[in-house]
Amino acid sequence: VREAAAGVAGVIKMVMALRKGTLPRTLHVDEPSPHVDWDAGAVRLLTEPVPWPETDGRPRRAGVSSFGVSGTNAHVIIEQAPARDDDAPDPEDGQTTPSALPLPLPWPVSAKTEGALRAQAGQLHRLLTTQPETVLADVGYSLASGRSVFDHRAVLLSGDRDGFLAGLSALAAGEEHASVVRGTSTSTSGTVLVFPGQGGQWAGMGRGLLESSPVFAASMEECGQALVPFTGWDLTGMLSRPQDDPAWEQAGVVQPLLFAVMVSLARLWSSYGITPDAV
């Protein structure tokens, strides 16, 4: 752990300096070391915060060195992120309260015991209650990618802050809720995806993901190009037909549509790091 963590604080410090445009002062140093020839170069200690403006449109860059306890040496160069095209305010500035999402978002939660799982739900509930500016997508990303996975698990699915608060309250109390799925891992079996046969279709299936997911849309386009020589019709156009359209009862229409949607969903899951062991 020490090797992996060595230098992380320095990286975080410089990322924040790049974001804020200010170099923080060097901590725990009152006087420069007499063992360094400070006049030999441009290196100096910062005794107070220093403005760090951009120069001629060039991005700010910083180097972070790390020296592990066993002798591991590393040097990372960090560059200022490109400016965003939109005018959305930085959530850190508290100018926006992202309480709604375009699609439902999963929050995976796990713990070693049932009690710890309920306690973690309570902590997340307090987070949303005391910090209303919390970005829901950021929390979901951190829960999915930045935490260990234990045997007692739950997934909350919601598209807004109130939905997460209700689900977290139920989970913390050990109660059932429509937006919460709970379970216990009892094996190390792999992940299996099941593609449904005819009968699992509905008018408008996949249309939301076509608009919101570039991965899903690109896969549907690829499937459509591969299928059109055999079907003679446009894949995405067929998905827009109303429920009472007779095409929804034709196996020659429904089965190619289901195949394309399922393949595209599988690729979407894979883009999130969930790769099936079998289909």
- Give the CATH number for residue 156: 3.30.70.3290
Number of domains within the chain:
3
In terms of Cα–Cα distance, which of 246, 250, 222 is closest to 235?
A: 222
User: pLDDT tier at 3 (50, 70, 90 boundaries)?
Assistant: low
Same domain, 237 and 176: no
Mean local confidence (pLDDT), 53-64 = 86
CA 218 to chain centre: 20
* Chain segment 33-47, per-residue pLDDT in tens: 888 888 888 888 888
Asked, for residue 200, whether it belongs to a domain, the answer is no
Say what the pLDDT of residue 191 is.
84
Task: List the Cα angle 257/262/267 in 5-degree steps.
Answer: 130
Among candidate residues 132, 152, 184, the one where a domain is terminated: 184
- DSSP state at residue 163: H
Asked, for residue 43, whether it belongs to a domain, the answer is yes
Rounded Cα gap, residues 189 and 173, in angstroms = 30
Say what the pLDDT of residue 96 is.
41
Same domain, 103 and 176: yes
Same domain, 71 and 108: no
Say what the pLDDT of residue 17 is.
93
Rounded Cα gap, residues 158 and 101, in angstroms = 9
Lowest mean pLDDT among 56-65, 97-106, 129-138: 97-106
Task: Please determine, for residue 101, whether its predicted confidence score (pLDDT) is greater than 70.
Answer: no
| Residue with the two structure tokens 């009690």 | 115
Rounded Cα gap, residues 164 and 135, in angstroms = 12
Same domain, 39 and 119: no
Neighbours of 142 (CB within 10 A): 11
Confirm if 94 and 133 have CB atoms less than 8 A apart: yes
Say what the pLDDT of residue 69 is.
64
Q: Indicate which CATH number applies to the domain containing 45.
A: 3.40.47.10
Asked, for residue 26, whether it belongs to a domain, the answer is yes
Asked, for residue 230, whether it belongs to a domain, the answer is yes
Q: Which residue has the higher pLDDT, 97 or 269?
A: 269
Tell me how far CA of residue 215 lies from CA of 29, 196, 203, 209, 212, in angstroms. Answer: 50, 21, 21, 9, 9
Q: Which residue has the higher pLDDT, 188 or 139?
A: 139
| Residue with the two structure tokens 């394309």 | 260
Task: Please determine, for residue 157, whether its predicted confidence score (pLDDT) is greater than 90.
Answer: yes
Say what the pLDDT of residue 153 is.
95
- DSSP state at residue 206: T
Asked, for residue 69, whether it belongs to a domain, the answer is yes
Which tokens sit at 30?
A: 């009152």
Asked, for residue 7, whether it belongs to a domain, the answer is yes
Same domain, 109 and 151: yes
- Is this model's pTM higher than 0.85 or not? no
Say what the pLDDT of residue 94 is.
42
Strands of the chain, DSSP E: 22-23, 50-51, 61-67, 73-79, 100-111, 152-160, 180-184
Mean local confidence (pLDDT), 244-262 = 84
Confirm if 220 and 211 have CB atoms less than 8 A apart: no
Say what the pLDDT of residue 92 is.
47
Rounded Cα gap, residues 54 and 225, in angstroms = 46
Tell me which residue range forms the domain holding 141. 96-184
Asked, for residue 243, whether it belongs to a domain, the answer is yes
Among candidate residues 79, 112, 147, the one where a domain is terminated: 79
Rounded Cα gap, residues 250 and 131, in angstroms = 52
Tell me how far CA of residue 106 lies from CA of 49, 96, 130, 169, 202, in angstroms. Answer: 40, 21, 21, 16, 23
| Residue with the two structure tokens 């891992």 | 185
Asked, for residue 190, whether it belongs to a domain, the answer is no
User: pLDDT tier at 267 (50, 70, 90 boundaries)?
Assistant: very high
Same domain, 125 and 171: yes
- DSSP state at residue 72: -
Among candidate residues 79, 106, 138, the one where a domain is terminated: 79
Beta bridge partners of 153: 110, 183
Mean local confidence (pLDDT), 86-114 = 67
* Chain segment 191-237, per-residue pLDDT in tens: 888 887 777 777 778 888 888 899 999 999 999 999 989 888 888 88
Rounded Cα gap, residues 66 and 7, in angstroms = 5
Q: Which residue has the higher pLDDT, 102 or 206?
A: 206
